[in-house]
Structure 1
């Protein structure tokens, strides 16, 4: 499908430069796929036509842009003057299986919620379902073909519908995807007049972010130099080249609720730890304790939490009144702890450290300081903190994106027997990535409509077996 060189430029295309924080080596490295499983029969043509219509609206046409490099090697959007059958607004495919999902060799393994914390599947084993034939797996697949950034692949069974989206991370983050889903839903429901155009389609709202720091970053003294980062890379090179295993974990809602209640009771007895913990704080702390059980107690553990910058920037650079921001607005909050403290201290201690980082490092001034370090980085890499012997765990909690609340009721043809009151809403969602495989990187997909949390990630081969043994104790 893909050529080895970029196709000829089309003179009538509108050329839009990339925003600074979209064109980074980190986001270039990821091609993302999201699969939504609906226990209903959905109308594929209605889904396709509504999303295609959205991509043709003013302010949303970037979804159908072609990716190109300019003479400096920087990425550009090339937006067709008009979309047609030869140059469509999105890549689209539809596969029909005239059987129930349970009677399909691969779909029969789609997971259901568990009654206790448990590993429920390997998300990669569903690749034949979520990836359309010839679907992109690296940035060059976009650069060397005349394809839109956004792809829609629908798989229809007699009792379920799988709705799969793919895009390069340079296009948008999880909150950007939430905005896309909201606009798509309005289009499905025949309410296009309520769709708000995103901000930043003609200018970069974050063009000045990081140019005016007013205070140093609170972890500046712990920052790894490029040499230190290279040493860390050499020390951990095996993690990036050895076989990695992907797994999905379901954590029942009552279990998380109990963890949080116990942690809150604990900090009430120890007010120096604060007075509030979210379910996300507790979930990340609990999962960290499981994921590092194989480490030496002396190892420095760095919790690298991705978070959206939209809230801290809402007063100036990303005002809500200007519309949603469908691009990348991501920062990282870091917690550095010796492994023995995670082993020896209560869960509330680690959860409180995570909450403290959110409070201390998530301020407007600290966001500016972090972005300043990112800007002055020679490789346009975000700053890393810790030491060359550290063990880094990356969390990306998408719960606030509310992906499980996606409502495609307007596309339901036949409600499923299993869907009940959540007809039109997904029962299962997974995210897959191609390109860079980040060891110990855990996206928390979110909280489903029954209150269960779902998280996934890659770990060294054999490590998931040890996690399974620990989970069996619950």
Structure 2
């Protein structure tokens, strides 16, 4: 979006009947505003899109689940707010749904045939997610914060791609709406689809912040990596080196890596066996998740390939549930 077009856009007028709730502190971070997710579920069967939409509408009638249809607004202080409609209708829907139909098998589609699928029991590098954008996203799918705050668009845009033997379900949303962990709550949608409303978990309303005390209770000195924090001259040097890397290395490619479950299971079994041999007698075995195993494997693979100096500090970032 050009700078000129940004200035030309106006925020929608406030609807008097909307309930306005400020975003929680940890939901309105700058980097969350800058990331728009397009998450695609693949089903190797032809699904009934009408049933999916009906189930999602019914979910939004349970408890506070209807709040996910809120509109994002930027207030005069530069903070994001939720504007929750008093009711949803055709003029202000709870979510946007679009559909593209292909009268062919997904195997015959030039892009669809290259998408990863369940049951592929081998290690490989998938094409970049951007490679599939033209097939999994609708031309009107949101792609940045401006697509929400300068429109009356609900938070969710669901695009259904129907083949004769497969269905791709892409959900577009801003990162302020959900992360990788909260995406598992789409199980609530499935529970309604199965007719098991009793399995729908309670939705934490937007005006309640379970993490409001996060980072306020623990003293700064208790942070184990306090001595590694960048500040002063070290921070300046890091910034200069980071800028140099951005300017020098521009042709970066993103490739998801598929690691078969049998490989992870085998590595985890090996690790547990090694720990059982070295652990003191009677000691409790440490918990080793699949994520622990994959991260350890990846770090070892990278260090073998890049051969960093033995005293080089390596930072590993991972996603976890707070």
Fold match, TM over 0.5? yes
Structure-to-structure mapping, 1:139-288, within 5 angstroms: 139-179=145-185, 181-213=186-218, 216-225=222-231, 228-229=234-235, 231-237=237-243, 239-240=245-246, 242-271=250-279, 275-276=285-286, 277-288=288-299
Q: Out of 135, 143, 147, which is 1:137 matched to?
A: 143
1:306 aligns with 2:319: yes
Work out the CA distance in 2 between the residues paired with 1:75 and 1:126.
30
Between the two proteins, the alignment pairs up a number of residues equal to 308
Q: Distance in 2 between matches of 1:7 and 1:295?
A: 54
Cα distance change of structure 1 residues 203 and 39 upon mapping to structure 2, 3 Å threshold: same
SS in 2 for 1:166: strand
1:92 to 97, 117, 120: 97
Q: CA 1:99/1:14 → structure 2, altered by over 3 Å: closer, same or farther?
A: same
User: Which structure would you say has the larger Rg?
Assistant: 2
Gaps of 5+ in 2: none
Where 2:138 maps in the other structure, the secondary structure is: coil
The alignment's C-alpha RMSD in Å is 2.6
CA contact (8 A) 2:44 2:166 kept: yes
Q: Deviations over 1:343-393 (max 9, x none)?
A: xxxxxxxxxxxxxxxxxxxxxxxxxxxxxxxxxxxxxxxxxxxxxxxxxxx
The match for 2:43 is 38
Between structures 1 and 2, the one with greater strand share: 1
Contact 1:111 1:121 in 2 (8 A): no
- The question of whether the paired residues in 1 share the 8 Å contact of 2:24 and 2:206 is answered with no
Quick check: 2:101–2:163 contact (8 Å CA) kept in 1? Answer: yes
What is the distance in 2 between the residues matched to 1:157 and 1:225? 54
2:21 & 2:97 partners in 1: Cα distance?
A: 24
Shift of 1:217: 1.2
Conserved 8 A contact 1:55-1:90 = no
Does structure 1 residue 79 correspond to structure 2 residue 90?
Answer: no
Seen in structure 2, the aligned counterparts of structure 1 residues 84 and 230 have a Cα distance that, compared at 3 Å, is farther
294 and 274 in structure 1: CA distance in 2 versus 1, 3 angstrom threshold: farther
CA distance in 2, matches of 1:96, 1:230: 53
Q: How far is 1:201 from its partner?
A: 3.0
The alignment partner of 2:134 has SS state of: helix
8 Å CA contact 1:56, 1:89 repeated in 2? no
SS in 2 for 1:300: coil
For the 8 Å contact 2:23–2:206, the answer to whether it is kept is no
Q: Once the 2 structures are TM-superposed, how far is the Cα of residue 229 of structure 1 from its aligned partner?
A: 4.5
Cα deviation for residue 115 of structure 1 reads: 4.0
> Which whole-Å CA distance do the structure 1 matches of 2:98 and 2:134 have between them?
13
**How far apart in 2 are the matches of 1:191 and 1:230?**
56
Aligned counterpart, 1:294:
306
CA 1:229/1:57 → structure 2, altered by over 3 Å: closer, same or farther? farther
Cα distance per residue 1:201-234 (max 9 Å; x no partner):
3222222222222561111121223764454243
